[in-house]
Structures are given as C-alpha cells and as structure tokens.
C-alpha cells in the first residue's frame, strides 16, 4: 500500500492513498466500495451561458449588473449572448456580484 502522510506541527494529520487501496480498505472493513467521483460530482462553476438566468435570479437588471461590474450594458448583453468572452477581471467581478465561485480565468 502506497500511503502519503501529511503532517501539521510535526504530527500526522492526513493519510493520502491511491483509490484502489482505499476501495480495498472499504471492502476489508465490510463496506461497499464507492464509485469514483465524476466531473459532474464536482461543484463546477456555472457556465457563462447561464449568466442571464443567474442575473435574473438575483433580481438584477442588465444595467444594474453591468454598472456593478464596471462594463457597459451593451457589452454585458454581448457576453450573455455568447458574442464576447470576458477577460479574467470581468469574470471575477461577475462572480463577486452574483455571489458564485469559480469564475476565475
């Protein structure tokens, strides 16, 4: 078994092991092995295609969100329609105003 031990203040805190070894330990303990997590299981950031719905769910008009982010309403409309891809700074600002995580390029 290949185990990596992570220490904090000189004391073991975590043990990291390969998935196969973890499954074998579960089976030996009489528990049912788990399926490997899929990409959908990961809390992925919302897609930009959902931007309009996210804005509306927050009760914001296009003008309000655009002004809060520091861009024009027209440019926000282009982002919402998929005509333009925002840069990293705009993504961070959109995420902050909408209260979501993960939009960091």
61-72 b/e (C-beta count within 10 Å ≥ 16 → b):
ebeebbeebebe
Distances (CA, A) of 67 to 27, 33, 59: 56, 50, 14
Q: What is the pLDDT of residue 43?
A: 43
Domains of the chain by start residue, with CATH: 4-33 (no CATH), 48-98 (1.10.260.40)
Note the residue count of the chain.
105
Q: What is the pLDDT of residue 46?
A: 64
Q: What is the pLDDT of residue 48?
A: 82
**What tokens appear for 72 in the block?**
């024009």
Partners of residue 16 on adjacent β-strands: 4
Which residues, including other chains, have CB under 8 Å from residue 61's CB and lie 6 or more apart? Answer: none
SS3 state at 18: coil
Give pLDDT tens digits along the chain (105 positions).
789 998 989 999 889 999 888 888 888 988 887 776 654 444 445 678 889 999 999 999 999 999 999 999 999 999 999 999 999 899 999 999 998 876 654
| pTM assigned to the model | 0.55
d(Cα 63, Cα 46) in Å, to the nearest integer? Answer: 21
SS3 state at 15: strand
Q: What is the pLDDT of residue 44?
A: 42
């Amino acid at each position: 078994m290949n185990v990596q031990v992570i220490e904090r203040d000189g004391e073991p805190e975590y043990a990291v092991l390969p998935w196969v070894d973890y499954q074998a330990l579960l089976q030996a303990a009489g528990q049912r092995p788990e399926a490997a997590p899929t990409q959908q299981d990961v809390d992925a950031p919302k897609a930009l295609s959902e931007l309009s719905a996210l804005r509306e769910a927050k009760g914001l008009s296009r003008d309000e969100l655009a002004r809060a982010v520091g861009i024009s309403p027209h440019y926000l409309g282009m982002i919402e329609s998929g005509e333009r891809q925002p840069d990293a700074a705009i993504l961070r600002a959109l995420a902050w105003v909408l209260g979501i995580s993960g939009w960091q390029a």
